[in-house]
Amino acid sequence: MVDSFAPNVFDTNAKLMQIRRAASADGISTGQDAVETADDHHFLHAEAAERLSDRLLDLEDNFETVAVLGWWPTDICELVPEKLSKAHVVDLSFNRPQAQTELEFLPLRANSFDLIISNMALHWINDLPGMLAQIRAALRPNGVFLGSALGGETLHELRASFVEAETQISGGYHPRVSPVMDLRDAAGLLQRAGFNLPVADIDRISVAYDNPMKLLQDLRGMGQTNAVIGRQTTLTSRRVLFGALQHYIENFADDDGAVPATFDCLFLSGWSPHKSQQKPLRPGQATNSLAQALGATEHPLKS
């Protein structure tokens, strides 16, 4: 169930407009000429999809019904044919023309899927615990959820540059880079949503740019620009923009003049509860001592 008391951090309507604008440039819906443009911008989505697919290949499970969410560079069955060639796939990814884009509501029937996999979308959800609970409810017992999202120190260089420039120029600051999830909280959110065996890990992807303006163009092209409530909705002044770009170059450029952009990708996994899954023992139920596990000699305490 969606938590009606969850605070709204993101402007959902603005984010949907950004997603639809980015998706409309995708070659799947606008022809071959757009493929090159889309690929230029959607490299991060493609890289995260590859890494998510690798994690799917590590699972021994067989999947008959699959729901696909978020951004995907191609049909997921083409990425992992050995896993999904015989699966019935419900594709709700953003860059599919037949999909109706949703952020806070998951239009899937309860207890219907063996696998739900989401790529690079969860970091825009206001009620993330509620969305994860919707995903878990749509899974069959022992069904698997795999997801990726931006987190950690993503775009810390861009954030610091805008804070420095705007503070110096205007004496204040508007949020220009969206907040993201922390790795320490990710597994806890899965557990809160009712998943068993929750796991969260992080991969850092560093991208080198000739200049930070190209980074801003990529963020717009991939639909990952700022949508925080309270952001400045008018155009950024030239002084602030160029001040931020100059700060970026002066503080982060390498010896060759290239500037880095950090993307920390969180990868989440969890299982819908099932009686066959391993469960932790209650205190006092262990059959082996810690000394046995460590191969050490146990010496009883003298009374």
pLDDT over 60 (residue 1): no
What's the pLDDT at 6? 58
Looking up tokens 């419900």 gives: 90
Cα→Cα distances 241→129, 165, 217, Å: 35, 8, 13
Tell me the one-letter amino acid at 301: L
Higher pLDDT, 236 or 188: 188
Q: What is the pLDDT of residues 125-170, one digit of tens each?
A: 999 999 999 999 999 999 999 999 999 999 999 999 999 998 998 8
pLDDT over 70 (residue 36): no
Q: What is the pLDDT of residues 24-35, one digit of tens each?
A: 765 443 333 433
Of 225, 223, 226, 227, the closest CA to residue 22 belongs to 223
3-state SS of the chain: helix, strand, coil percent to 5?
Answer: 40, 20, 40
Domain boundaries, the chain: 12-154+179-206+263-277
- Mean model confidence pLDDT for the chain: 84
Q: Domain 12-154+179-206+263-277: which CATH class?
A: alpha beta
Q: How far apart are CA 127 and CA 4, in angstroms?
A: 8
Q: What is the pLDDT of residues 61-77, one digit of tens each?
A: 889 999 999 998 888 88
Mean pLDDT within 261-282: 84
What does the DSSP assignment read for 195-250? -EEEEEEEEEEEEEESSHHHHHHHHHHTT-S--BTT---SPPPHHHHHHHHHHHHH
Of 72, 27, 70, the closest CA to residue 49 belongs to 72
pLDDT over 60 (residue 38): no
Q: What is the pLDDT of residues 85-108, one digit of tens each?
A: 889 999 999 877 655 667 889 999
Provide the percentage of residues in the chain whose pLDDT is more than 90: 54
